[in-house]
Amino acid sequence: MNLSIFRKKNFLFLITGKFVSLIGSEMQNFALSLYVLKITGSATKFASVLAITLVPQIVFGNIAGVIADWFDKKRLLMMLDLLSAAIVAIYAVIFKINGVLTLTQIYILSVLLSTISSMFNPTITAVIPSIAEDYELADANGINTMFMNIANLISPVIAGILLEVFNIFIILTINAISFLLSFMCESMLEIQKTNDKPEKINLNSFLNDFLTGIDFIKSKRLILNILIIGIIINFTSNPILSVGLTYISKQILKITDYQYGILQSTFAISMIASPFISSIITKKYKLGKILFLDIFSVSILYFLLSFTISPIYLQGFSYILKPYISLMIIIFFVGLITSIGNIALTTMLQIEIPLKLMGRVIATISTCLMVVTPLGQMIFGILFDKIPSWINIIICASINFVVILFFKNYLLYGEQEHFVTTNDGIEQ
């Protein structure tokens, strides 16, 4: 992985801002997830908080994508971070005064921040290819992933320690400050101003630009097939890593908040190593092969996960330490393999999608993937309350396994856009 891209001031400011704000956001997500599970003790209610955060992104995602293509991206990023800081600061004050946050208040906070995120994500995705050359994208995405996962690594540990000593007020305060620091970094970006909005902004102009993104996706067979796979995999895998992992850790293994923080950090550690591996793989192999091996391997790991939390396995140990270590090992490899596939996929999308369409196409793809995520979280959240967790994991793993075998021939042998990154550019 080539680190020389850090010499570009714009890339340095962008990564620094994302890194700082992500630390605060992940600390808050970690704290609130434990807080909700603690006050309710229900996987269904815990899953509902996760699911409701995706509703604004589904509703506003496509609108946000078009707006990201229409307006100046630097100003959008600054405005969104400033708004996030204000909202989180208000909630810190509410908790300080009342000493508690109700489930309804947490729902509202989640919806507000998710709405902002629906605008922020397609905007910042479109910024990266505007400050990096095509041949630098694989390394840029790898570096971005590495730093984001360093944040994921340290955030749960810090949050776990702070929760043991203080309460979520300190977490909310830190997150508000992190958004302000990100705002300052974005203010120093120097990127070309874009203003591609139509002369008249109305429903027709929005629909025309939105449909342009849809038509582009339909014209790219590789992107369309990956989208179909992603929709199905998102329905099954997301509940395992969001609802299932937390429920298994706290309700089955009964581990402490600190141990749960270590488990989350293990997942992040695996993804810190992934950019170095991905940088090599994306330069040598077709995307289809990378994605097939990625999903196939993760499906096998999920089958192993179901066994490690089954009564047969757990009854073989007097203490929870060995099952806990088994869980950590599996989660490590799930994170490593998944992250490699995500980096390759992001790089391909940034290469294949024209910059002027980046916001709306990325937003459309993200929205399609997220539509099924709340459904999966709620269904499997209910199932985790009703049937043994290890059976739920087997169901998810089986669906993933069948899907990837169904698409095997296309991914491995079908006609695909093939890209190899070199120091001189992209060979197609």
Instruction: Give me the sign of the Cα torsion angle 70, 72, 74, 77.
Output: negative
Q: What is the pLDDT of residues 66-95, one digit of tens each?
A: 777 777 778 888 899 999 999 999 999 999
* Mean pLDDT on 330-339: 88
Q: What are the chain's domains?
A: 8-186+203-427 (1.20.1250.20)
The dihedral formed by the CA atoms of 211, 214, 216 and 222, expressed in degrees to the nearest 10: 180
pLDDT digits (tens, 9 = 90+) for 349-398: 777 777 777 777 877 887 788 778 778 877 887 888 788 888 888 988 99
**pLDDT at 217 > cutoff 90:** no
Q: What is the pLDDT of residue 1?
A: 60
In this prediction, residue 410 carries a pLDDT of 77
Could you tell me if 112 and 217 are in contact, meaning their C-beta atoms sit under 8 angstroms apart?
no
Task: Give the span between the Cα atoms of 48 and 380, in whole angstroms.
Answer: 11
Q: What is the pLDDT of residue 239?
A: 80
Is residue 165 within 8 A of residue 28, CB to CB? The reply is no
When mean pLDDT is compared across 153-157, 395-399, 420-424, the lowest value belongs to: 420-424
Which percentage of the chain shows pLDDT scores above 90? 11
Q: Give the list of residues 6+ apart from residue 233 with CB closer than 8 angstroms, or none.
A: 295, 400, 403
Flag the least confident range among 40-44, 57-61, 291-295, 416-420.
416-420
Cα–Cα distance measured from residue 411 to residue 286, given in angstroms and rounded to the nearest whole number: 9
Tell me the C-alpha distance between 142 and 39, whole Å.
38
Q: How confident is the model at residue 201 (pLDDT cuts 50, 70, 90)?
A: low
The per-residue pLDDT for 100 is 83
Task: Considering only residues 59 and 232, tell me which one the structure prediction assigns the higher pLDDT.
Answer: 232
Average pLDDT, rounded, for the chain: 80
3-state helix, strand, coil in the chain (%, to 5): 85, 0, 15
Most confident of 96-110, 213-227, 392-406: 392-406
Task: Look at residue 427 and tell me whether its pLDDT is greater than 50.
Answer: no
Please list the residues that pair with 20 across neighbouring strands: none
DSSP letter string over 65-97? HHHHHHS-HHHHHHHHHHHHHHHHHHHHHHHHH
Name the token pair of 278: 């991905």
Q: Is the predicted pLDDT of residue 415 greater than 60, yes or no?
A: no
| Bridge partners, residue 420, by sequence | 427
Which is more confident, 147 or 399? 399
Among 29-33, 39-43, 93-97, 153-157, the range with the most confident prediction by mean pLDDT is 93-97
**Cα(393)–Cα(302) distance, integer angstroms:** 7
- Compute the C-alpha angle 416/418/421, nearest 5°: 160
Phi/psi at 361 (5° precision): -70, -45
